[in-house]
Homo-oligomer: A and B are copies of this chain.
Amino acid sequence: MTTPPLHPSLSSLSFLLGIWRGTGKGKYPSIEDFEYGEEISFSHVGKPFLIYTQRSWDLQNHNGLHIESGYLRPVGNHRAELVLSQPTGITEMHEGEIISTKVEFSTLEVSCTPSAKQVSSVKRILEVTGKTLNYNVAIEAVGYPLLPHLTSQLVLS
């Protein structure tokens, strides 16, 4: 299997391509602060979207904490849509603005299965500065307003 050429529509998102690893910090009023290891991958198959996968783990015992997966697709001029799902029973749909090496997403829709914790909005920002991918996630959940939840700094592995 050879990797096909990058679809031309992905040129404005190509700065995300690769496997990024590092550490992050999490907080929210309903939980204890925590730190985690994280790996994020953006890959492609020659089609006009990036494949997104994420996993995080406990830095002490290396147990898995969270995973999610989805797709980032460019739509028109410096904009992209992100869809993803989480094993916690959540799907997300966002529209993002691509500004140089930053993508700032606004929630189109967050849906929760009946058994999931209720999350009503998620704000995700991806930004590469120098060699670091900064990933910030704020959430509006379980009765609290939109508040910072996750921030991680990752480098290409």
Q: Interface on A for B, CB 8 Å cutoff? A: 45-47, 49, 51, 53, 64, 67, 69-71, 73, 75, 81, 83-87, 89-93, 95, 108-109, 111, 113-116
Contacts and interface: CB of A to CB of B under 8 A. Distances in A.
27 contacts: A46-B64, A47-B64, A49-B87, A51-B87, A53-B69, A69-B70, A69-B85, A70-B85, A71-B85, A73-B87, A73-B89, A81-B89, A81-B116, A83-B86, A83-B87, A83-B91, A83-B113, A84-B85, A85-B85, A89-B93, A91-B92, A93-B111, A93-B113, A95-B113, A108-B111, A108-B114, A109-B111
B67 A45 contact: yes
A85 B2 CA distance: 25
Copies of this chain, complex-wide, total 2
Given A81-B89, A91-B93, A113-B95, A45 B71 contact: no
Nearest to A109: B111
A113 B76 CA distance: 13
A142 to B, nearest CB: 19
A150 B107 CA distance: 31
A86 B113 contact: no
A63 to B, nearest CB: 8
A47 B59 CA distance: 18
Contacts of A71: 85-87, 89
